[in-house]
Amino acid sequence: MIKVYGSSLCPDCINFEYNLKKNQLAYEFIDIHESMKNLKAFLRIRDNQAVFDDAKSKGYVGIPAIVYEDASIELDWEKYLEDQGIAVVSCDQESQEFPASCDISGKGC
């Protein structure tokens, strides 16, 4: 089962979780805004994994972050769904204007 580090405030995380639920895929969602423990767990991973370098250099948080059972990490949630044979659909909030990703400054979240 995958772990997904994300936030209930992040449009990409909301859409990813919507697609996971809709397609009944097993996952554990760890909301980094829910507790300091969750945020620290995410930062330990983010600060020590090269997969986050591009996101950090552009000022992005790096969520949703998909952590596989073998500890490998994927940041492209749409690719993850496509690899599962699932077409990405927008969640029920599609009437709202969400940006493509959350920037570390909080703009667009």
Q: Tens digit of pLDDT per residue, the chain (109 long)? A: 999 999 999 999 999 999 999 999 999 999 999 999 999 999 999 999 999 999 999 999 999 999 999 999 999 999 999 999 999 888 754 444 444 555 555 544 4
Domain boundaries of the chain, sorted by first residue: 2-83
Residues 6+ apart with CB under 8 A from 109: 7, 9, 10, 11, 99, 102, 103
β-pairing, 73-74 vs 2-6, is: unpaired
pTM reported for the whole predicted model: 0.83
Give me the pLDDT at residue 6, please.
98
Give me the pLDDT at residue 92, please.
59
| Domain 2-83 indexed as CATH 3.40.30.10 | yes
